[in-house]
Structure 1
Amino acid sequence: MSEDNKTPEDQPADVTPETEAAADTAGEAGADPVEALQAENAELKDRSLRAIAEMENLRRRTEKEIKDARQYAVSSFARDMLTVSDNLRRALEALPEDDRKNADAGIASLIEGVEMIERDFLNQMEKNGVRKLDPEGQKFDPNFHQAMFEVPNTEVPNNTVVQVVQAGYVIGDRVLRPAMVGVSKGGPKDGAQAASASGQTVDKSA
């Protein structure tokens, strides 16, 4: 029987015009099925690695957001509680030093009790991530300090904190309340200022 006279029953069951056309195209292009599979495998691997990287970044972001939420959730409450610390400090500073030295046993015990309460209060705040700033003697930093006035002083570098009017606090790495300070004026320039004025650069890589 000739090819033209074959009946549909004589044709292979899995051969269709579409598969024949695809086979002809592959044959004409000279495509290697192994190379095609390798390329597809490489693409799938790349997609898988990208998906894994995206999931890892999402996990890290989520962990950071949870950590920040836990750490800074008490910010509003802690800021309100700073008034307690301020009042304890004012109560201690209201009594002159001479009166404290000459106080009778009852007053001395009261002063000691207030000091213990203040220390315990600050310790409890620090356990929750709130730390008191003690900037006196440090260089003025606008990120953590608020300058209230200048103090003429030729013995310390310019912009040195020489007086703390109100204590500042930070929670984690964020400012809860800046320290209100007085800064020096008229003193020598520090190393960075002197180098900048002379056109030199300061190496901060060490």
Structure 2
Amino acid sequence: MTAGESQGTPEQPEGGSGDSPFHFTDKRKVDPTTGAPREGGTGSDGPSGEPADPLDALDFEPSVEAVEDSELLAAKAEAAEHLDALQRERASFTNYRNRALRDQEAARTRGTQDVLAALLPVLDDIERAKAHAELSGPMAAIAEKLDASLAKFGVERFGTVGEEFDPTVHEALMHSTDADAEATTVNLVVEPGYRIGDKIVRAARVGVVGPE
């Protein structure tokens, strides 16, 4: 028997005795007579002679639940990315808005300071006229309206006789002593001071009296 003829597999018919002859099933992929490949063979090659894919017989189709879970995870990841981007944009816009508001307020304060500095000579003349009782009638009403208008922009006048001297807000032009004085105080206001909020536009120019 040749090597090509030894590819059969002995089988014993069902119900037969041990003395019955064996039958062989020919499982050879090549016809021994013609030498052509047999179709439907049990070897590893397909009918066309190309290697068969060993995974063809396996079921790798994903289940519906697995597909839905995968799509849900992808959608959640994309939503998280969009939410993160939205939060960053919102934080950036909030910072920009706050910075813009601060810049606007600073520009407004600077503008008010410039106007106040230009009006200081006029305001000083009005205060001197008040001190000498020279301001009355329509001019007194105009002076009151001017003070009210400045107050709307946060302008505050300070410096009065009797208050304690503070070098951060007062400019002492004259100094005298008094044996009965216990602290240095303002006894004369030459020119009142003006401030806008915490910003001193001009210190009050005063005369002071203090202990010997």
TM-score by structure 2 length?
0.52
Which stretch of the first structure deviates more once superposed, 38-47 or 132-141? 38-47
User: C-alpha displacement at 1:178, in angstroms?
Assistant: 1.1
Work out which of the residue numbers 102, 105, 112 in structure 1 matches 2:136: 112
Partners of 1:89 and 1:118 within 8 A in 2:
no
Extract unaligned runs of 5+ from structure 2.
1-44, 57-75
Work out which of the residue numbers 155, 169, 182 in structure 1 matches 2:194: 169
Q: What's the counterpart of residue 29 of structure 2?
A: none
User: C-alpha displacement at 1:163, in angstroms?
Assistant: 2.1
Q: Of Structure 1 and Structure 2, which has the larger fraction of its residues in helix?
A: 1
Q: Tell me how far apart the structure 1 counterparts of residues 51 and 182 of structure 2 sit (CA, whole Å).
A: 108
Residue deviations 1:124-143 (CA, integer Å, cap 9, x gap): 22223222113433333333
Q: Report the residue type matching 1:167 in the other structure.
A: P
Where 1:74 maps in the other structure, the secondary structure is helix
User: C-alpha displacement at 1:156, in angstroms?
Assistant: 4.5
Structure 2 CA distance for partners of 1:43 and 1:72, relative to 1, 3 Å: same
Partners of 1:72 and 1:171 within 8 A in 2:
no
1:134 aligns with 2:134: no
Q: CA RMSD in A?
A: 3.8
1:79 aligns with 2:117: yes
How many corresponding residue pairs? 149
Q: Tell me how far apart the structure 1 counterparts of residues 209 and 82 of structure 2 sit (CA, whole Å).
A: 65
TM-score by structure 1 length?
0.53
Partners of 1:75 and 1:171 within 8 A in 2:
yes
Work out which of the residue numbers 173, 179, 185 in structure 2 matches 1:160: 185
Q: What's the counterpart of residue 62 of structure 1?
A: 100
User: C-alpha displacement at 1:180, in angstroms?
Assistant: 0.6
Identity %: 30
Partners of 2:155 and 2:194 within 8 A in 1:
yes
Partners of 1:71 and 1:172 within 8 A in 2:
no
User: C-alpha displacement at 1:168, in angstroms?
Assistant: 0.8
Where 1:142 maps in the other structure, the secondary structure is coil
Q: Report the residue type matching 2:105 in the other structure.
A: K
Which stretch of the first structure deviates more once superposed, 150-159 or 124-133? 150-159
Q: Tell me how far apart the structure 1 counterparts of residues 209 and 123 of structure 2 sit (CA, whole Å).
A: 27
Q: What's the counterpart of residue 146 of structure 1?
A: 171
1:185 aligns with 2:195: no
Where 1:73 maps in the other structure, the secondary structure is helix
